[in-house]
Amino acid sequence: MFLIDTEKEFLGAFRSRDRKFVEPPKGTQFPLFVRDYLSWVDPHGVRVFLVFAPPGGKKPTGIAFRRDQQGDKTLALRVCDWCRSSGSADQIGLLTTDVDSKRRVGVNLCLDLRCNERLESATNLAGRNALDENRQLLERMARFATEALGLDLGPKA
């Protein structure tokens, strides 16, 4: 769990190159307490935003993804790289983000980034601990941020 006190702090979680696209979800009020992470889709359905803190960290990190063309909708089920849920092309697809002005990286994810809901449902049905699964999900997010985007997530608080 982490706290975001102001809209300025909220926007500051994102890289400067992404801030121009970020608009907090409608109805967001500060201070904002976030349990695991916050995700939302922009009103046009073009971008998907993520704000999370790595396990053991309190500093929020934001990533602005773009939904790329999803290709052939008749293909078999896809699997989310973060939560390992499976779904059709309208549920799971390629989300991309710019590393810099010349490079973009992508990852196959739940298109609404509601991975934690899918994980909690699956783990509860299987009788496993949802807290462990959510921690691993946050670790995958942090690994993507550091390895693919080169972000420094700072010291763990």
**Which of these, 46, 71, 51, lies nearest to 1 by C-alpha position?**
51
Question: What pLDDT was estimated at residue 105?
Answer: 96
Tens of pLDDT, residue by residue, the chain (157 residues): 899 999 999 999 999 999 999 989 999 999 999 999 999 999 988 999 999 999 888 789 999 999 976 555 666 789 999 999 999 888 999 999 999 999 999 999 999 999 999 998 888 888 888 888 899 999 999 999 999 999 988 765 4
Question: What pLDDT was estimated at residue 31?
Answer: 96
Alpha-carbon distances of 145 from 18, 52, 115, 130, rounded to whole Å:
14, 10, 17, 23
Alpha-carbon distances of 140 from 5, 101, 125, 145, rounded to whole Å:
25, 24, 22, 9
Alpha carbon 122 to chain centroid, angstroms: 19
